[in-house]
Structure 1
Amino acid sequence: MSIQWTLIAAFLYAEIFLVLLLVLPVASPQRWQRIFKSRFLSALSSQAQYYFMILIAVLVLFFLDAIREMRKYSNPEEGTHQHLDAEMQVNMRLFRAQRNFYISGFALFLSLVIRRLVTLISTQATLLAESEAALKQARSATSTARSLISQTQSSAAQNDANEAHDKQVKALKEQVQELERTLNRERKDKEALKSQAESTNAEYDRLAEEHRKLQNKLTAVGGGDGEDKKDA
């Protein structure tokens, strides 16, 4: 394997490891958010889009080159089958082109998957933080409102003719109802976020299964090549 394909294969293995880290419950979304916002990554974030586009362009070039090689050696020139050595050379190069096709294809695909996972994790961490802050605020406001209502009701019992107190009680009750509705909405948003995370995990499992099948196919192709060479 040439140096450039060795580097792409190493990059593919690193991507697989990173995807496993992001998907498995190794760290909470808040902790991943702190890692994403670390000083080193923050320094790269200003040019992250630029680096990502360069990486995608390089992988696409290698991917297209692998397709070109596959098409080239899938249709050998006439008379090639007359020489066994030439035929073995063509088959070996075709196998290498197929191997490079899978390596570059999976590397390109996992690059997009990792970017999407990072976006989803960052969004989830932000929504969880906002949800927790809103819940705390709603609980505090509800407790304060109930305390004020209790005080207002006790004073209203002493002075039934005080219309100002009645209006204040009514306003506080409406505020409590609004806060309770806000609390319910936050709970529903949190449940929706949890459902989205489960859907993301299910999608990853499906992608991992496809990845395993394609790896088995690549192994079968490699094994078939090895048997052909041994028979020769």
Structure 2
Amino acid sequence: MSLQWTAVATFLYVEVFFVLLLCIPFISPKRWNKIFKSRLIQTIALYGNTSFMVAIAILVFLLIDAFREVRKYSVTEKVDLTNNPTAIEHIHMKLFRAQRNEYIAGFALLLCLLLRRLATLLSQQATLMASNEAFKKQAEGASNAAKKYMEDNELLQEKLRDAGVEVPEGGKKGAGPQEENKNLKEEVKTLKEELTTTKKALQKSDSDVRAMKSQAENLTVEYDRLLEEHSKLLEYSPIDHMRGREARGLQAAARPKTFASSDKKSD
């Protein structure tokens, strides 16, 4: 076997080993995905695409050459070599080698493509398994949330029943989830309207309180003003009283003189 075919056969054996290694059942796709995404494999894959294409081209070239050799040494069926048995043996040997090389090159090319495809499928399977686990966790979370919402809905219905609001029971026939949701929405709408009315009444009462407060402040100011005026009047009242007494004293002093003058005239 020549040097190039020895190299191709060695490459084929290495490919068979890696294919069998990838087919081992107890190594999970997650482990292979971690290996494929390791720094060493990523570096090899980054710089190995060109080498892979070159290897594919070499294998294709050798396969074509093997086909040509097989076609070349298949002329024994058309040429009569019965008189030369040595030539027949030589041609058969060459034909055997050409067919052997053809099989080696063909299987090496096939396993090269198969190995790449296996690595891709293992990576995709690992990704799908991770996505499946994530979806399971999401489904479990959604189921727990749905259970919690159902419990909250039951608690809300109990509170509404305690408040005197008619709530359709979930166990009755004809009262589906949609109808229950519709009734709950109507009740929520009614409660919102009542809340709006209460807010308006509260705002009105607040404005009335503010008006009464302003009136009380005005009354307080007016009361203070009246108190001041009253105190002023109390301050001025003793003087007026003294002036009145003086006036009355003067009138009393003037009154006897008039009586005396009238007596003199009568005499």
Same fold (TM over 0.5): yes
Corresponding position of 1:2: 2
When the two chains are superposed, the root-mean-square deviation of aligned CA atoms in Å is 2.5
Distance 1:26 1:65, change over 3 A: farther
CA distance in 1, matches of 2:183, 2:25: 53
Corresponding position of 1:134: 135
Corresponding position of 1:94: 95
Matches within 5 A, 1:1-232: 1-75=1-75, 82-160=83-161, 161=165, 166=184
CA distance in 1, matches of 2:128, 2:80: 65
CA distance in 2, matches of 1:165, 1:8: 78
> Percent same amino acid among aligned pairs?
45
Are 1:80 and 1:86, in contact at CA under 8 Å, matched by a contact in 2?
yes
TM-score normalized with structure 2 length: 0.56
Corresponding position of 2:224: none
CA distance in 2, matches of 1:146, 1:89: 83
Number of equivalent positions: 167
Q: CA deviation at 1:130?
A: 0.5
Of structures 1 and 2, the one scoring higher in RCO (CA 8 A, sep 6+) is 1
Q: CA deviation at 1:141?
A: 2.6
What's the secondary structure of 2:73's corresponding residue?
helix
Are 1:59 and 1:104, in contact at CA under 8 Å, matched by a contact in 2?
yes
CA distance in 2, matches of 1:128, 1:64: 41
CA distance in 2, matches of 1:97, 1:55: 20
CA distance in 1, matches of 2:12, 2:133: 37
Unaligned stretches of 5+ residues in structure 2: 168-180, 186-267
Q: CA deviation at 1:66?
A: 0.6
Are 1:156 and 1:165, in contact at CA under 8 Å, matched by a contact in 2?
no
What's the secondary structure of 1:46's corresponding residue?
helix
Distance 1:47 1:17, change over 3 A: same
Q: CA deviation at 1:48?
A: 4.1
CA distance in 2, matches of 1:85, 1:18: 42
CA distance in 1, matches of 2:20, 2:183: 60
Unaligned stretches of 5+ residues in structure 1: 168-232
Q: CA deviation at 1:80?
A: 5.5
In our comparison, the structure showing a higher alpha carbon Rg is 2
Distance 1:78 1:145, change over 3 A: closer
Distance 1:15 1:26, change over 3 A: farther
TM-score normalized with structure 1 length: 0.64
Are 1:152 and 1:165, in contact at CA under 8 Å, matched by a contact in 2?
no
Q: CA deviation at 1:148?
A: 3.2
CA distance in 2, matches of 1:83, 1:142: 85
